[in-house]
Structure formats: C-alpha cells, structure tokens
Amino acid sequence: MSNENYALVDFDDVPAIDCLCGEARRAFADIPFSPGTIHRTEITGEATPHVHRRLTEIYYVLESSPNARLRLDDEEIEMPVGRCVVIPPGTVHAARGPLTILNIVVPKFDPNDEYPA
C-alpha cells in the first residue's frame, strides 16, 4: 500500500522468490520515491558466493542460529541476532544459515547486478 506520502509493506503478503542467498521477499521496488529496496531473506543453508558491482547491501540479523556466518571476501564473521553489516560493491559475500535478515539495498535491487563469484 502506498500514496505520495508513504509506502507500507507487510512482508507476509510479499511473495517469496528464490535467490542466491535462499528465499527473499522484496519490497519497494515499484515505489518511485524509494531510494532502495528492502528484503526479508531466509538463508537455510549455504548461500552462493556472489558480488555486486553497483549495489550496496546492509544486512540486519532478525533470527540466527549459533552456526550462522557471513563470508566477506576472505574473512568469515559470526551473525548473531542484532548484528548489522554494510557490504559495499565489489565485496564477495555469502551467508550460511539458518539465518533471517533484513537486507536494505541501495540503489534498488537489480538482478542484473548479481554475479556469482
């Protein structure tokens, strides 16, 4: 739901799609005044390592398992609930779950800017 003053989304109403990370529910791509998109992404296993050339992603962890990790280039970090990380363009990344994140993408997500690494 939106008008010229705001946009509202209920992620439970957004269809899930398969992605390199797992399953994503993507919002605000069709909102002209939104500078980016936000995705609720569920990573159940090992995501495919990938890189973006233009997009910056911000991951905020909503749910996590003790073994959840995020690979950033050659480094691996823990991903507990409440952790937030900014991933600039050019950084190879892949998460290992189970893990549920909010992924804020600026500019708006473009599937043509997602390259397996």
- Per-residue pLDDT band at 67 (split at 50, 70, 90): very high
Average of per-residue pLDDT across 54-64: 98
- Under 8 Å between Cβ of 54 and 113: yes
CATH of 23-116, one of 3.40.50.1220, 3.40.50.150, 2.60.120.10, 3.30.565.10: 2.60.120.10
Per-residue CA distances from 10 to 28, 30, 64, 67, 101 (Å): 11, 15, 21, 29, 15
Q: How far apart are CA 1 and CA 11, in angstroms?
A: 12
Indicate whether 1 pLDDT > 90. no
Average of per-residue pLDDT across 64-80: 97
Per-residue model confidence (pLDDT) at position 3: 78
Block residue for tokens 């073994």: 67
| Residue ranges of domains in the chain | 23-116
Q: How far apart are CA 87 and CA 11, in angstroms?
A: 23
Rounded to two decimals, the pTM is 0.93
- Per-residue pLDDT band at 4 (split at 50, 70, 90): confident
Per-residue model confidence (pLDDT) at position 105: 98
Average of per-residue pLDDT across 34-49: 95
Q: How far apart are CA 85 and CA 87, in angstroms?
A: 6
- Under 8 Å between Cβ of 51 and 117: yes
